[in-house]
Amino acid sequence: MPALNLLRYGDASPSLASAPRAAQPGHALIGRLTLGRDAWLGAGSVIRADGHDVTAGDDLQLGRGASVHIAHAVYPTVIGHHVTVGVNAVVHACTVHDGAVVEEDCVILDGSVVAAGVVLEAGSVVFPRSALSANTLYAGKPAKPVRTLSADEVAARRAALRARNEAASPAWHEWREAPPAVDQTAFIANSAMLRGRVSAAANSSIWYGCRLDALAGEIMIGARSNVQYNSVLTAAAGSIRIGVDATIGHNVRLDDCTIGDRCLIGIGSHVVAGTVAQDDSFLAAGAVTTPGQVLESGWLWGGAPARKLAPLDERKKALVLGTIVTYCQYADDLAQAQAERAAAAAGA
């Protein structure tokens, strides 16, 4: 098992009741985290407790690339005992009670409460402030009840997901030196991977578990923009261009595309090749664009395939700019924590 990637945030460092049963390469545990006994952390899994608390009980299992986070100064994340989270799933600023099963590619959004024994079908999205009933199977975007489950069915789904998590590759790319095109003020998390022609402008940030592959193309990230943890950007025949003051949410997939200024690309979404997100456009969590689609400025887009949902008001536009300020501060604080950890490792 590799050394734990524990990072303080401000004055707070992660508190673990015991060493994890497994902590595969590329994981990160950050800040105001209290973690119970016998956790199992898949490759690239991230628990970030910076702007609020994360509390997780015993026997938490996080699959490869799973992400747990908070809503800055608004919602903590509280996770009960024996919870299982699948590959590439996101648990964000919510409460998940004992024994819940969150399958692959699911997203649970802010303020939601997932009762004990819930099973979330793979690919489901729990919309903000939802309340999910105990011992029930949910599916869809938004997640809706399908049927009641027996205790044996919940246990079987949990065991099957744990087996899939443990069968997923434990390999994770080692950290590589940032290329010269990364500005000295940009923040690069210590479990992110950049390769090929990647440029990151002043005060931009690339977070834990991200994989930016520009061996066959080019990836350009504008000033103050952030690419949040476990997002995968792949420039193939063309390029990925991200404007200034843009936010790429957690566990997002970007193929060759253009993201304009002040855009927000929601958690768990997929922007496919040829998409153009015009300035001041939003893509909702779990959405999927179509090849060559243009996301018109001033609109919220969502669904699979993505479609216009509503015009953006000033409150939503202000949300993006507020996120930029918050992430610039996160980056400053965590850059210092990473430097301290690297220095301590070098002196060990």
The pLDDT value recorded for residue 342 is 85
How many residues would you count in the chain? 348
Are the C-beta atoms of residues 70 and 57 closer than 8 Å to each other? no
Query: Quick one: how far is CA 15 from the chain centroid?
Result: 21
The pLDDT value recorded for residue 46 is 98
The pLDDT value recorded for residue 348 is 61
The pLDDT value recorded for residue 177 is 64
Q: What is the rounded distance in angstroms from the CA atom of residue 182 to the CA atom of residue 221?
A: 9
Q: What is the rounded distance in angstroms from the CA atom of residue 67 to the CA atom of residue 251?
A: 8
Q: What is the rounded distance in angstroms from the CA atom of residue 65 to the CA atom of residue 172?
A: 10
Measuring CA to CA, which residue among 320, 317, 279, 283 is closest to residue 302? 283
Domains of the chain and any CATH numbers: 6-167 (2.160.10.10), 187-342 (2.160.10.10)
Q: What is the rounded distance in angstroms from the CA atom of residue 201 to the CA atom of residue 188?
A: 12
Measuring CA to CA, which residue among 50, 45, 128, 113 is closest to residue 80? 113
Burial class (CB in 10 A: 0-12, 13-18, 19+), 197: middle
Strand 144-148 and strand 136-139: the pairing is antiparallel
pLDDT in tens, 200-238: 999 999 999 999 999 899 999 999 999 999 999 999 888
Residues of the chain with pLDDT under 70: 1-2, 174-178, 348
The pLDDT value recorded for residue 32 is 97
- The pTM of the full predicted model, rounded to 2 decimals, is 0.94
